[in-house]
Amino acid sequence: MKNFKVTGKTIFLNISVPVEIGQIKLDHIYQISVYRAKEKGKVLYDIDDVDYQNVFYMGMKVEGYQGFRKLREFHKELGIDLDKLVREEASKQLTPDELEKWLNDTYKDSFGEIR
């Protein structure tokens, strides 16, 4: 490792946001990468929707990806975009301001102020 040096650091986080829409309850999983931008020296983050976990429909556990796919297709046939509804509801709970405050409170020592 003589010729290797750390040129930057990135933290990857998975954040679970509980969502309840009618009879559907689930955890919406975001993947967040926090990094320092080279050109500006600012600490930034990217956020991506990556998964759903702990899905319940009418109080019953929906098992695995195939079970959720069937639930999604059922709603699609009714004209309901379940993914869109989940994203909208999750974004009400995890706002950019709240996320930045949490990241600053949790990782300020690692990165400095996050904007």
pTM of the full predicted structure? 0.76
CA 102 to chain centre: 14
| Residues 87, 88, 90, 96, Cα dihedral to 10° | 100
Higher pLDDT residue, 23 or 104? 23
pLDDT at residue 1 above 60? no
| Closest to 65 (Cα-Cα) out of 53, 77, 74, 57 | 53
pLDDT band at 114; cut points 50, 70, 90: low
- Which tokens sit at 73? 């297709």
Q: For 21-80, how does the pLDDT look when each residue is reduced to its tens digit (9 = 90+)?
A: 999 999 999 998 888 776 666 777 888 988 999 999 999 999 988 999 999 999 999 999
